[in-house]
């Protein structure tokens, strides 16, 4: 969840021919470090291509809206110039806009804690950084980027195989995963973790794998907290828990398990077979921006399919955490446009 680097401050300059071109990211005065989205907005019609340059060197091209690429500024303190060149009329006409960074002195070096927050969004049009307000422990934060596309991630399927998962529930869970692995995108990876009173080692899985052979007779107790905490990672990860809801055998306390999960880039979702579940699932999913849904053997596949489809349609925002202490941090994300609804991560733990 965290990366540390020096800061660079942007100031905006437009050439005389820029017209309706405006930088969406970075904005004037923004602090930019590491991987950053370079994006413009323009009312120009008939665009052939947008070329992005950093210090006069081609960094990438965008051929359709949103006109955006990713660029890694690293940790350099040097003055940088970013230019967008918009080609029109069959590449016979162009307009440009430029953004210039201000190099920092040694005395200006600062550590910045970058926080990634996945969002579920209902909005009439794509979000921009200016459409969001983020507060951490009540302190206003600076949104660096808004990514509409879901980045590649790891999907950890954490499946209960305790005695209570008999009568076909375990088999239904594995069949649902086997069917819905097809929703993984290029670059995604997946693994399967089975647990009873012990937590098994994660097994890599992929679309087309036969998982039904793992549907052994359910037995033993339930170490739910231990199992969920075992898949937490500093890499982008979705933990999808399928269980009948109880926990009778975990070594980790609820607070310890929540800290392991909430201080990472892991988002926890849970599908509960039955009408009740451990409070831990409510807290873990709320802290990380996930959800809890209930299902039975016949509806399990549809619930998992809907959950993966929802994950694939999400945004990701990155903001710089400033002005808050270590420990539990609350995150409040609000849309500033009318009729925009947002669901996001609520809390995380910072060492």
List 11's β-bridge partners, or say none: 100
| pLDDT for the residue numbered 271 | 97
| pLDDT lower than 50: segments of the chain | 1-18, 106-111
| pLDDT for the residue numbered 37 | 82
Q: 9-111 with 154-312: one CATH topology?
A: no
**How many other C-beta atoms are found inside a 10 Å radius of the C-beta of residue 147?**
20
Question: Whose CA is closest to 38, among 69, 12, 83?
Answer: 69
Q: Are strands 292-295 and 266-273 parallel, antiparallel or unpaired?
A: parallel
* CA–CA dist 261, 237 (Å, integer): 11
The two counts, helices (H) then strands (E), for the chain are 5, 22
Domain limits, the chain: 9-111, 154-312
Q: Tell me the CATH number for domain 9-111.
A: 2.60.40.10
Six token digits for residue 172: 């239904």
* CA–CA dist 111, 107 (Å, integer): 12
Q: Which CATH number fits domain 154-312: 2.60.120.380, 3.40.1790.10, 3.30.300.30, 3.40.50.410?
A: 3.40.50.410
**How many other C-beta atoms are found inside a 10 Å radius of the C-beta of residue 146?**
25
| pLDDT for the residue numbered 311 | 87
Q: Are strands 203-205 and 142-147 parallel, antiparallel or unpaired?
A: unpaired
- Going by C-beta distance under 8 Å and a sequence separation of 6 or more, which residues neighbour residue 14? 21, 97, 98
Buried b (16+ CB within 10 A) or exposed e, 295-330: bebeebbebbeebbeebeebbbbbbbbeebeeeebe
| pLDDT for the residue numbered 300 | 96
Alpha carbon distance, N-terminus to C-terminus of the chain: 11
Cis peptide before 26 (omega within 30 of 0): yes
Q: Are 144 and 114 in contact (CB under 8 A)?
A: yes
| pLDDT for the residue numbered 114 | 78
Buried b (16+ CB within 10 A) or exposed e, 112-140: bbbbbbbbbbeeeeebbbebbebebbeee
| pLDDT for the residue numbered 9 | 37
Average of per-residue pLDDT values in the chain: 84
Question: Whose CA is closest to 127, among 342, 346, 347, 286?
Answer: 342
| pLDDT for the residue numbered 11 | 36
Six token digits for residue 252: 């980790």
* Cα angle: 267, vertex 271, 272; to 5 degrees: 130
Question: Whose CA is closest to 174, among 188, 190, 160?
Answer: 160
């Amino acid at each position: 969840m965290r990366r540390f680097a020096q800061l660079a401050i942007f100031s905006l300059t437009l050439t005389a021919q820029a017209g309706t071109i405006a930088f969406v990211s970075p904005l004037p005065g923004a602090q930019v470090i590491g991987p950053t989205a370079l994006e413009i907005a323009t009312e120009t019609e008939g665009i052939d291509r947008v070329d992005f340059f950093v210090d006069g060197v081609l960094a990438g091209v965008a051929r359709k809206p949103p006109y955006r690429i990713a660029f890694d500024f690293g940790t350099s303190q040097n003055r940088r110039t970013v230019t967008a060149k918009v080609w029109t009329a069959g590449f016979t006409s162009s307009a440009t806009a430029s953004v210039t960074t201000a190099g920092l002195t040694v005395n200006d070096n600062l550590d910045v804690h970058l926080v990634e927050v996945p969002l579920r969004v209902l909005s009439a049009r794509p979000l921009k950084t200016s459409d969001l307000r983020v507060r951490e422990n009540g302190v206003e934060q600076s949104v660096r980027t808004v990514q509409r596309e879901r980045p590649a991630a790891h999907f950890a399927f954490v499946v209960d195989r305790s005695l209570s998962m008999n009568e076909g529930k375990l088999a239904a869970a594995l069949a649902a995963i086997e069917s819905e692995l097809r929703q993984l995108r290029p670059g995604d990876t997946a693994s399967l973790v089975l647990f009873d009173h012990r937590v098994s080692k994660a097994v890599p899985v992929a679309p087309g794998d036969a998982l039904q052979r793992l549907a052994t007779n359910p037995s033993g107790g339930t170490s739910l907290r231990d199992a969920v905490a075992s898949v937490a990672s500093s890499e982008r990860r979705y933990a999808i828990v399928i269980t009948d809801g109880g926990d009778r055998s975990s070594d980790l306390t609820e607070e310890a398990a929540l800290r392991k999960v909430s201080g990472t880039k892991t988002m926890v979702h849970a599908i509960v077979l039955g009408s009740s579940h451990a409070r831990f699932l409510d807290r873990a999913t709320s802290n990380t921006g996930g959800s809890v849904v209930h299902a039975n053997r016949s509806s399990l596949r549809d619930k998992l399919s809907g959950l993966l489809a929802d994950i694939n349609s999400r945004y990701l925002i990155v903001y710089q955490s400033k002005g808050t202490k270590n420990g539990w941090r609350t995150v409040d994300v609000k849309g500033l446009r009318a009729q925009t609804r947002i669901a996001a991560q609520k809390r995380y733990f910072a060492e």
